[in-house]
């Protein structure tokens, strides 16, 4: 395989003078933000699943009543239906608090640091990895979507 490092596409080249360690640090910061994004997605999943469970309780209550278990249906309605998941909070409030307290601050700081250190360029570390790992001359290994495949011989063993 003929792997040679080249410069990333124009949008992903570090501004002049940005050292490799800074690119690596920005990559770590970006990875941390991506992990927070995943955590946020899990919170939305938690929110939706908990809401679905609460709505399914309506069916359980109805069926308990139909089966002649009115006291059990009353208990589910009184004790579980519409209950806070933590004191004073439904899941939407947890999502809102996470977004306002942690996620928005994280996103803002990451963007400000990228702007300060790399003129706002995103994914510089990943672009560098792409260049190190792609096979020059292979039509599916171009630097960017609008770049024609590189000419020259390609070893695809």
Spatial CB neighbours of 94, under 8 Å, sequence gap ≥ 6: 43, 46, 47, 85, 86
Res 122 pLDDT > 50? yes
Backbone torsions φ then ψ of 135, nearest 5 degrees: -100, 115
Q: What pLDDT is stored for residue 144 in this prediction?
A: 80
| Position with higher pLDDT, 155 vs 120 | 120
Q: 3-class SS at 138?
A: coil
Note whether 143 and 131 are within 8 A (CB). yes
Tell me the per-residue pLDDT of 54-111, one tens digit each, with 9 for 90 and over: 999 999 999 999 999 999 999 999 999 999 999 999 999 999 999 999 999 999 999 9
Q: Tokens 């309780």 — which residue? A: 57
pTM of the complete model: 0.79
User: Which of 1, 3, 99, 89 has its CA nearest to residue 44?
Assistant: 99
CA gap 36, 10 in Å, rounded: 28
SS3 at position 155: coil
Cα separation, 54 vs 80, whole angstroms = 8
Residue 106 is encoded by which pair of tokens?
């994280």
Q: pLDDT band at 4, cuts 50/70/90?
A: very low
Distance of CA 27 to CAs 119, 123, 127, Å?
A: 15, 7, 10
Beta bridge partners, 89, equal 86
Q: How confident is the model at residue 136 (pLDDT cuts 50, 70, 90)?
A: confident
For 71-80, 83-92, 117-126, 139-148, which range has the lowest pLDDT when averaged over its residues? 139-148
6-31 pLDDT per residue, tens = 566 777 888 888 899 999 999 999 99
Do residues 133 and 34 make contact, with C-beta atoms less than 8 angstroms apart? no
Q: Residue 79 belongs to what H/E stretch?
A: helix 70-79
Q: How confident is the model at residue 153 (pLDDT cuts 50, 70, 90)?
A: very low
Of 47, 52, 71, nearest in space to 61 by CA = 71
- Residue 89 DSSP symbol: B
């Amino acid at each position: 395989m003929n792997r040679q490092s080249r410069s990333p596409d124009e949008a992903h080249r570090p501004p002049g003078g940005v050292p490799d360690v800074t690119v690596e640090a920005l990559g770590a910061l970006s990875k941390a933000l991506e992990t927070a994004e995943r955590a946020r997605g899990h919170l939305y999943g938690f929110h939706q699943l908990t809401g679905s469970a609460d709505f399914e309780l309506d069916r359980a209550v109805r069926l308990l009543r139909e089966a002649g278990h009115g006291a059990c249906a009353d208990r589910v309605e009184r004790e579980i239906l519409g209950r806070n998941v933590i004191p004073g909070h439904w899941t939407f409030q947890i999502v809102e608090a996470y977004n306002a307290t942690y996620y928005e601050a994280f996103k803002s700081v990451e963007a400000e640091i990228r702007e300060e250190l790399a003129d706002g360029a995103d994914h510089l570390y990943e672009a560098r990895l792409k260049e190190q790992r792609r096979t020059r001359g292979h039509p599916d290994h171009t630097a960017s979507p609008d770049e024609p495949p590189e000419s020259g011989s390609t070893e695809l063993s």
